Amino acid sequence: MALAQPAFATSVEPLKDVQADPAPCLTAAGADDDDKVVDLCTALIDNENTVKADRVKALIARGDAYARKDMVDRAISDYDAALGLDRTLADIFNARGELWRKKGDRPKALADFGAAIKLNPDHAAARANHKSLALELERLGALMAVAGKPSFNCAKGRRTVEKVICANPELADLDREIFAANARAVREAENPRAARALQREQDEFIARRNAQFGRPGYDLPKEMKQRLEKLNGADGS
C-alpha cells in the first residue's frame, strides 16, 4: 500500500500593501530642515501607498519648505495639490494668498484670503492680510485715477509750460508729486516761519520754471526731477 504523500501549499497569499510611513517627512518638517523635507516628503508624496491625510501633510510640508527657500511657484503648486485634496484648509488658503501677493497677483491673493476667512472667520492672519490688501488696492485705484494728471487744472492752463506738462503724462506725474511733496514739507515744518520759507521756495521754483521754459539750455524734466529730489531730501539737504 502506497504511503500518503505530505501536502504542500502550491500558492502563496499576496502580501497586503504596507502603508507608507510619514514619520521621516514630518520629523524633518518639524525641524525646519528644508532640504530633507523636500527629499523625504517627495518620497512620501510619490508613494502609491501613502494615505490621503499623510499626502496632504507632506504636500503642505514641502510647500512650506519651498516657500522658505523662495521657490514660490513650486510652493504654490504644492498648496494647489493639497487644497485639491482638502478644501477645508484655511491656513493653506492664507499661505497661498501670501505667495500670490508676493508674485504681484493681487486678485488671486485677495480671493485666497477671502476663502480662508470664509472657512475660519476668526483667522487673524487672513483677516489682516485681506484688510491690508484691500487698502492697497484702494490706494492703487486712487493713484490710477490721477495718473497722468498734474496738480493744476489743465482746462485752465494758459502758459506754454503748463500745456506741455498736461500733454506729457510723465511730466504731469512729476508735477503732482512735487506739489504733494511740498505740501508735506510745509505741513511738517518745525514752525510757521519755516513753513513760509518752504512755500516761498516752491513759489520761486514755479516762477523760474514759467520764466525760463523755452529758453536755450533750460531742461524742464531735469529741473522738475531735481526739485522733487530736493523736497524728498534725496540730495541730503
Q: What is the pLDDT of residue 187?
A: 87
Measure the N-to-C terminal CA separation of the chain; round to a whole number of Å: 121
Which has more pLDDT, 135 or 154? 154
Which set of grid coordinates corresponds to residue 40?
523625504
Asked if pLDDT for residue 9 goes beyond 70, the answer is: no
- Rounded CA-CA distance 96/93 in Å is 5
Q: How far apart are CA 170 and CA 176, in angstroms?
A: 10
Coil/strand/helix, residue 227:
helix
21 grid coordinates: 510611513
Q: How confident is the model at residue 1 (pLDDT cuts 50, 70, 90)?
A: very low
Write down the pTM of the prediction: 0.58
Distance CA 207, CA 186 (A): 18
Mean pLDDT over 222-229 rounds to: 95
The residue that leads in pLDDT, 177 or 18, is: 177
Residue 71 half-sphere exposure, CB side, CA atoms within 13 Å? 14
Homologous superfamily, domain 23-144: Tetratricopeptide repeat domain (1.25.40.10)
Q: Name the residue ranges covered by the structural domains of the chain.
A: 23-144, 154-231
Q: Which band of pLDDT confidence, cut at 50, 70 and 90, is reported for residue 18?
A: low
Concatenating the DSSP letter of every residue in 164-189 gives HHHH-HHHHHHHHHHHHHHHHHHHT-
Residue 141's pLDDT is what?
Answer: 67
Task: Transcribe 184-208 into DSSP letters.
Answer: HHHHT-SSHHHHHHHHHHHHHHHHH
- Residue pLDDT, tens place only, 75-121: 999 999 999 999 999 999 999 999 999 998 888 998 999 999 999 99
- CA dist., res. 7 & res. 99, Å (int): 66
pLDDT of residue 133: 86
pLDDT in tens, 157-191: 889 999 999 999 999 989 988 988 888 888 888 88
pLDDT at 236: 41
